[in-house]
Structure 1
Amino acid sequence: MTARTKRAGTRLAGGMAGALLTLTAFAAAPAQAAGYRYWSFWESDGGKPWAYATQGPATARPADGDSLGFRFAISNGTEDTSLPSVAPDFAGICEGVEKKDGSKRIAVVVDFGGPVDAPPGETPPEKPVMVGCAEVREDATGAEALAAVAKPLRYDSAAMLCGIAGYPARGCGEQVEETGQKPPERPAAQESQGPGPSVGVLVGGAAVLALGGAAIWKARRRG
């Protein structure tokens, strides 16, 4: 084996050892916090499926015929997939409500979540979902539409929506550490992988390292 080949093999071996340590560190990394407990905000335009709102209810201005959804749940990832359990059925929720001049009709769905979502010491309302047809002025915000059907509302000093119809009575957007509780179920089509590499990635990385080791061994044999 030449000195050059020996040095190359040493560098490659060192790089693989570092990669192996990195993979091991990822595998041994502790699980992160479960997420945040808060009211998520959803919207639907003209009977389309729920879509996560791109702005808060205080600035959103829905049009006549739109639906707004609010779901109290624990968000477990970068994308919240805890949808309201009732579809955005404007025709059904606002059935029989005629549009009046200077006003608009907004279907509102409020999903209080389940016991697993409730803050410690609190219990969700006996009726898990509230629906209503808000009749508000044409330039009204989503927050005003919500207030028309689900008072009282509670906000924090930063104008974050903390409580709807008195629930929950305390707290606002707290971080939830892992407690062994089962997180809210996610729709199968929107299931996302949690933080950290998957087992398949780790196994694949180990296979790459093994192949690299074999290559070094063969290089030494040829040397």
Structure 2
Amino acid sequence: MTPVRRAVPVLAAALAGLLLFAAGPAGAAGYRYWSFWERAGGHWTYATQGPATVRPDDGAVQGFRFAVSADSADASRPRGAADFGTVCAGTPAAPGTKRVALVLDFGTRADAPSGERPPGRRTACARVPRDATSADALAAVAKPLRYDTNALLCAIAGYPRTGCGEQVSAGGRSSGSAGAGGSGGGPSLGLPVGAGVVALLAGAAVWRARRRRDESA
């Protein structure tokens, strides 16, 4: 058997292992965390960047929702209607600043950590400098915020008191943080797993190409 053919089952096994890691332990329901959303055309869209890197324009509407979600496709959207004119009606424009309408949805009792009760949904209009990020706007109206060592947003307005992106079992119980030392980078696990799969397949393609050149030389 050629080296390339021998490599195929090895690559398949490694790929299967990566996909199994991504799926998580049997019975896992997802991760308990704050998701970040942007609103346009009357619809919420899961943000493709984190709040620390997004710099919204004046008049933007953004939302945060606390819930248990398996991934971005499964994530719960902020509830209720939201439009800039309503949220920021009492906040006049000012030179050198911008206004960002924020919807803060603390989720349901079913998604709350054990012993905690979610506050009611609320909106706020943040007036911040023109170069401010979404994280800056959030900090202006919803302190205290809590982040972990990996810059994952753990708490808004002090909720929840503990925990950060922990994995939750199908029964609704926390099954431990996904991050080292309890930091809980759970929702971001798909990124390194996906990158690993791409690197693995790319390496196989390069190996096959080199093998063909050596055999034809």
Contact persistence 1:151–1:164 (CA under 8 A): yes
Aligned to 2:63: 69
- Please identify which structure carries the higher strand content: 2
Cα separation, 2, equivalents of 1:87 and 1:40: 18
Give the residue type in structure 2 aligned to 1:133: C
Query: Residue by residue, what CA displacement relative to the aligned partner does 1:70-110 show, whole Å, maximum 9, x if unpaired?
Result: 00000035513401012331110001322211100000110
Q: 1:110 aligned to 2:90?
A: no
Shift of the alpha carbon at 1:178?
Answer: 1.0
Report the 3-state secondary structure (helix = DSSP H, G, I; strand = E; otherwise coil) of the residue aligned with 2:136: helix
Which of 88, 95, 120 is equivalent to 2:89?
95
Counterpart CA distance in 2 for 1:86 and 1:176 is 26
**Distance (Å, rounded) in 1 between the aligned partners of 2:56 and 2:80:** 19
**Does residue 28 of structure 2 align to residue 36 of structure 1?**
no
| Residues 17-52 of structure 1 deviation map (CA, whole Å, 9 limit, x = unaligned) | xxxxxxxxxxxxx9641000000000124x531110
Contact 2:29 2:172 in 1 (8 A): no
Give the total of aligned pairs: 149
Q: TM-score under structure 2 normalisation?
A: 0.65
For residues 52-78 of structure 1, give each alpha carbon's deviation from its aligned partner in whole angstroms, at most 9, with x where no partner exists.
000000111110000110000000355
Q: Secondary structure at the match of 1:136?
A: strand
Could you tell me which runs of 5 or more consecutive residues in structure 2 were left unpaired when the two chains were aligned: 1-24, 174-217
Larger-Rg structure: 1
Letter in 2 for 1:148: A
Amino acid at match of 2:52: A
Match of 1:119 in 2: 113
CA RMSD across the alignment: 1.8
Contact 2:35 2:75 (C-alpha < 8 Å) held by counterparts: no
Does the 8 Å contact 1:50/1:87 carry over to 2? no
CA contact (8 A) 1:162 1:172 kept: yes
Return the TM-score normalized by structure 1: 0.63
2:134 and 2:74 map into 1 onto residues whose CA distance is: 19
Q: Which residue of 2 aligns with 1:142?
A: 134
- Which of structure 1's runs of 4+ aligned residues deviate more than 3 A? none
User: Deviation digits for residues 106-136 of structure 1, max 9, x if unmatched?
Assistant: 00110000110001122212xx112110000
Q: Distance in 1 between matches of 2:32 and 2:109?
A: 12
What residue in structure 2 maps to residue 53 of structure 1?
47
Amino acid at match of 1:41: F
User: For residues 62 and 42 of structure 2, what CA distance do their matches in structure 1 show?
Assistant: 11
Range that drifts further, 72-81 or 103-112: 72-81
Identity %: 60
Structure 1 equivalent of residue 125 of structure 2: 133
Q: Retained in 2: the 8 A contact 1:86–1:109?
A: no
Tell me the distance in 2 between the aligned counterparts of 1:78 and 1:71: 12
Q: 1:78 to 1:164 in 2, by over 3 A?
A: closer
Alpha-carbon distance in structure 2 between the residues aligned to 1:178 and 1:81: 16
CA contact (8 A) 2:46 2:72 kept: no
Once residues 161 and 91 of structure 2 are traced to their aligned partners in structure 1, the CA distance between those partners, rounded to angstroms, is 32
1:156 to 1:102, Cα distance in 2 relative to 1, 3 A:
same
1:152 aligns with 2:152: no
Paired residue for 1:167, among 140, 155, 159? 159
Q: Which has the higher contact order (CA 8 A, sep 6+)?
A: 1
Aligned AA (1:131): T
Asked whether the 8 Å contact 1:114–1:124 carries over to 2, the reply is yes
